[in-house]
Amino acid sequence: MRNSFTIIKKFFIAIQVIFLFNVIVCNAQTDTIGKERYTPAYKIKDGIFISFEQVLLNKPLSFERITTGNKNDDNWFSNLLKTEKISFLDDYGIQQFVYTKQLWGYCRKGALYVNYISDFYRIPYIGKLSHYVATQTVRVDNGYDPYNRQGMTPTYETNTIVQNIIDFENGKTFPFKLEIVQTFLSKDSLLFNEFNALKKNKKKQMMFLYIRRYNERNPLYLPKQ
């Protein structure tokens, strides 16, 4: 009797495993229906992306629908990004506007740019984890100065180059730092275990390589063209 109960129990466990596997497979297939794997040959449409969802749909607001400025001016686009807000016609032909600082980014001549601290930077490497370089203003404080009557040296601002990662699950930007890379790699147990087996200095040297490997194993899919 006990053996029969054990057999039945194992049978139901096997059924549950098969069911869960089929659910996972179906979800994975659904996520890629009507989509193709991103490659550098993929053409992102020109226009401005008000939200990251528009990037994933490859449906920017086309430049033709923008009504701000004189498009016959050679400097129209560069001047456009300097304006406080951009006016455009929506799907119903009604005039709308969006604050420039609220844009996610834009695509021009096939190159994708992201808005980072009110400036736009090209994303040369695109994948599930995308990478780009930007400049950031930092405040430098030299600390206490015994020869200064006030005891403190004046602070000043300077521009520094930073590297960032964009998570193409949500469009958010993160610093390209070891702990951030480790967090993303934790989604892929094989790469995560390999990476953790390296010494700290080696990890820092291999971060970008592992980002590339992550994207190869976890490709980005965008709408078919």
pLDDT in tens, 31-41: 789 999 999 99
pLDDT at 15: 52
Lowest mean pLDDT among 19-33, 92-106, 129-143, 196-210: 19-33
User: Does the pLDDT value for residue 64 go beyond 70?
Assistant: yes
User: Does the pLDDT value for residue 23 go beyond 50?
Assistant: no
- Rounded (10°) angle between helices 189-196 and 200-217: 170
User: Does the pLDDT value for residue 162 go beyond 60?
Assistant: yes
Burial class (CB in 10 A: 0-12, 13-18, 19+), 181: buried
Beta bridge partners of 137: 159
User: Does the pLDDT value for residue 14 go beyond 60?
Assistant: no
> Is 105:118 a contact under the CB 8 Å cutoff?
no
Can you give the residue ranges of every domain in the chain? Answer: 43-122
pLDDT at 122: 98
User: Does the pLDDT value for residue 141 go beyond 90?
Assistant: no
CA angle 134, 119, 162 (to 5 degrees): 15
Average pLDDT, the chain: 87
**Tens digits of residue pLDDT in 77-134:** 999 999 999 999 999 999 999 999 999 999 999 999 999 998 999 999 999 999 999 9
Q: Give residue 17's pLDDT band: very low, low, confident or very high (50, 70, 90).
A: very low
Question: What's the average model confidence in pLDDT over 50-64?
Answer: 97
Give me 141's structure tokens. Answer: 């404080």
Number of helices (H), then strands (E), belonging to the chain: the values are 6, 11
Strands (E) across 91-152 are located at 95-99, 105-108, 111-116, 119-122, 129-140
